[in-house]
Amino acid sequence: MTFSISKLLKAEKDLLADKKGFYKALGRAEPVAIRALAGKLAYDVRQATQHAGLTAEDAEELLNDAVVITITNIQNQAFQFADFSPAAYANGVVKKLIANRLRTKKPRQEALEDNFFASDFDPEVYLSNKELESIMGKLLSSLGENCQQLLRLKYFDNLRDKEVVEQKLAPYTTTTSLKSKRSQCLNKLIEIAKSAGLLDSFR
């Protein structure tokens, strides 16, 4: 690895030194862990994309995708902690993504993608769902701030209803009213997504 970590902040450096801590922090999608992973991957991604004849914009997108996939696979346990850094796993993801990009231009290149890491991940499914996620983001923003916040607290911050009420993170004084409002928001989103045909293409 030719990338120097001297430019990373101390917190990121400390995290990189502790593989298990790094893995857990990524699972919680902590910004410091996200930055540490991206910092660790950045140079290799740039080199690999240049080598593959891809653009700087492609490199940036691939980097973001690799971070998202690594975190998702930690969260759903597809990538379980072993005695190697999550950066190595993410590097495997990057290689697969690049191979997938190249497949659209050239015949299949086995040598690029057959690696031990990230063997469980299918770039085509990921890319197809990525578009749906982006549409979902737009649908979500049409729901209004209160709904967005309620859904975020539940599905991203993973907070329990009791915590949300106790910490006054939403304008509801009981878990029942909170849950009821969130359910309304979610059902509205489901209806919009259904009528847009979004769910039929989701894999």
Minimum gap (Å) between residue 87 Cβ and other proteins? 13
Of 119, 117, 101, residue with least CA distance to 109: 101
64 binds other proteins (CB under 8 A): yes
Q: How far apart are CA 198 and CA 115, in angstroms?
A: 33
Minimum gap (Å) between residue 101 Cβ and other proteins? 19
Dihedral-angle region of residue 85 (phi above 0 means left; psi in -120 to 50 means alpha; beta otherwise): beta
Which residue in 29, 88, 102, 196 binds other proteins (CB under 8 A)? 29
Buried b (16+ CB within 10 A) or exposed e, 113-145: bebebbeebebeebeeeeebeeebeeebeebee
Which residue in 16, 34, 54, 59 binds other proteins (CB under 8 A)? 34
98 binds other proteins (CB under 8 A): no
143 binds other proteins (CB under 8 A): no
106 binds other proteins (CB under 8 A): no
3 binds other proteins (CB under 8 A): yes
Task: Say if residues 75 and 30 touch (Cβ distance below 8 Å).
Answer: no
162 binds other proteins (CB under 8 A): no
Residues 6+ apart with CB under 8 A from 111: none
Q: How far apart are CA 129 and CA 105, in angstroms?
A: 21
Distance of CA 50 to the CA centre of its chain: 24
Query: Under rule CB under 8 A, how many of the chain's residues touch other proteins?
Result: 50
Minimum gap (Å) between residue 163 Cβ and other proteins? 10
Q: What is the contact surface with other proteins in residues (CB under 8 A)?
A: 3-4, 7-8, 11, 29-32, 34-35, 38-39, 42-43, 63-64, 67-68, 71-72, 129-130, 132-134, 136-137, 140, 145, 149, 151-152, 155-157, 167-169, 171, 179, 183, 186, 189-190, 193-194, 198-199, 202
